[in-house]
Amino acid sequence: MKILMVLTSHDQLGDTGKKTGFWLEEFAAPYYRFVDAGAEVTLATPKGGQPPLDPVSDSPDAQTPDTERFRDDSDAQKLLASTVRLTEIKPDEYDAIFYPGGHGPLWDLAEDPASIKLIEYCYEHDKPLGLVCHAPGVLRHARQPDGRPLVSGKHVTGFSNTEEEAVQLTQVVPFLVEDTLKDHGGQYSKADDFQEHVVTDHKLVTGQNPPSSAASAAALLKLL
């Protein structure tokens, strides 16, 4: 069982002068669910190498047992520091693909041709595809074979407008995940802010927020 995890290479939070990147829990929780299930995990980013970590996700109050496990896992840290460049990935070599969130993907992965092509390949070849928190926003340009938006008619979730308001970044992000999913025909649903919520529609798994990370990974494994 081979699973590809795709992370962001983008580290600038708009014009704020602050840093962003991937959200640690959204990487660590799925990564360990996959590894513990016996999967061979490959990590990829648009630029290759070490992806930027959102510093807020590294703060003491954002830690979980999975992030603490990562801190003591030198093998996982080495793997993360040497991600494969996304353009070098051969999607037919993987059984499933998973996108952790963080704000970074809204800037690079959402617009990245290699990422869009990868997502469309997944869809066309009926491979499980999982995305959590802000990562469902990277579906915005992906299309079904007939040209319709990939999320059109699909039951999906992702970081909600009220959650974006809660972290005070509504005016900073390039687009709102909830609005984009709805605008592209997605049947969007959500739970209360920062409560676990995962939606599976055929082979597409989406999670609403960081607390949904482990459950999103479990849902992907169930499809496998």
- Torsion sign (Cα): 161, 110, 46, 123: positive
CB-based contacts of 212, cutoff 8 Å, min separation 6: 132, 133, 157, 196, 197, 198
Q: Give CA–CA dist 59/202, Å, rounded.
A: 36
The pLDDT value given to residue 188: 98
- In DSSP terms, 115 is beta-bridged to none
Domain CATH for 10? 3.40.50.880
Q: Give CA–CA dist 41/105, Å, rounded.
A: 20
The pLDDT value given to residue 46: 98
Identify the domain containing residue 211 by its residue range: 2-223
The pLDDT value given to residue 223: 97
Tens digit of pLDDT for each residue in 138-185? 999 999 999 999 999 999 999 999 999 999 999 999 999 999 999 999
Sites in the chain below the pLDDT cut of 50: none
Backbone angles phi, psi at 5, to 5 degrees: -110, 130
The pLDDT value given to residue 179: 98
The pLDDT value given to residue 26: 98
Can you say how many angstroms the Cα of residue 97 is from the centroid of all Cα atoms in its chain?
A: 10
Domain count, the chain: 1
